[in-house]
Structure 1
Amino acid sequence: MKFFRVLFLFIVLFSINGCGVYNFTGAKPINAKTFQVNYFQNTAELVEPGIERTFTLRLQDLIQNQTNLNLTNSNGELLYEGEIVEYRIAPMTATADQKAAQNRLTISVMVRFSNKNKEEDNFEKRFSFFYDYSGSSQLVGPQLTDALDVIFERITQDIFNESLAKW
């Protein structure tokens, strides 16, 4: 009977120890404790006021929620910086009377990622996503908020995957 208890305890301890490297967010273990997200300036030709602050906060929140890294204002071991380089609205389909039936908002962000502890992980890359909406509506108020939610969720997750999850 004592043999089975010891065997059971050994199996449980071995199983728990084996799960220490993985987590449910997909982030691989990294040798860092802090991260820094510098303010992303909006350098796009067409400027929507406030999106640079919204994007910066979204990226900070995503990293804080999916890792155990601490956000810092300076000297972060992981550094995210860049700018919003494109904010474009373009017609996607037209009606018979030459009006847009559907429009597309595209936002692109240039990101520079630096890892002080592992410089081979550093990159500079452009991330982009879009949101389609009816040509008969204006992209303001709640519809703009919905569009930014969809676009920023995708772009920030892509940045996270590229820098920390290595997908």
Structure 2
Amino acid sequence: MRSKLSRISILLIALASTIFTGCKINYGFSGASVDYNEVKTYSVDFFPNYAPLAQPTLSQEFTEALRNIFLNQTKLDLTKQDGDLQFSGKIVDYRTAPVSIQASEVAAQNRLTVTVSVVFVNTKDDTKNFEQSFSQFIDYDSQRPLSEVEGELISQVNELLVQDIFNQAVSDW
């Protein structure tokens, strides 16, 4: 009886091992859904600035932020061009405007808005390709001059923009 129970236990363990080693679960907190057997690389072209009155470093900072989100949240390798996932585009709008009017003629808050036009090509699955504009904003206290807070605001807006682009390109949420 003991021998039969022992054989059944060994058989169940062997069966479970076979099943579990044959299954692959690919989960991460980034929400990225990338088939790493197919997709190995990504490339991000420089995003030129076509928006009037934008900070001169905006193009470089945005391009680097887009490169870094994939570097930090996926196992893909960055390549200069012709990646399996390809990003190109341009910055098309950069503006600040009052958003919260108070009793006086001065706004309590201003809003910095940045809009980016993105072309995404997935060379392994063309059904995921897109050409789309992404826009994000950050509100800030109007008592602080834009020149004083602009660098910090641009970093925050870039973070929001690249997260939206990342989600659109590789997340199945």
Could you say whether these structures have the same fold, taking a TM-score greater than 0.5 normalized by the shorter chain as the test? yes
Q: How does 1:1-167 map to 2 (within 5 A)?
A: 1=6, 3-8=8-13, 10-11=15-16, 14-15=19-20, 17-30=22-35, 31-141=38-148, 143-167=149-173
Distance across 1 between alignment mates of 2:11 and 2:159:
48
Letter matched to residue 128 of structure 1:
S
Aligned residues: 166
Q: Which one has the largest radius of gyration?
A: 2
Letter matched to residue 133 of structure 1:
Y
Q: Deviations over 1:68-87 (max 9, x none)?
A: 11100122121100011111
Distance across 1 between alignment mates of 2:14 and 2:34:
27
Task: Give % identity.
Answer: 36
Q: Deviations over 1:111-159 (max 9, x none)?
A: 0001122222111000111100111111234x32331222111111111
Distance across 2 between alignment mates of 1:2 and 1:55:
61
TM-score (norm 1): 0.88
Distance across 1 between alignment mates of 2:21 and 2:135:
39
Distance across 2 between alignment mates of 1:5 and 1:48:
67
Letter matched to residue 47 of structure 1:
A
Q: Deviations over 1:41-80 (max 9, x none)?
A: 0100222110111110111010111111110012212110
TM-score (norm 2): 0.85
* Superposition RMSD in Å: 1.9
Q: Deviations over 1:14-44 (max 9, x none)?
A: 3464343433322223321111000000100
Distance across 2 between alignment mates of 1:119 and 1:166:
15
Conservation of the 8 A alpha-carbon contact between 1:46 and 1:86: no
CA offset at residue 91 of structure 1? 0.3
User: What SS class does the counterpart of residue 55 from structure 2 fall into?
Assistant: coil
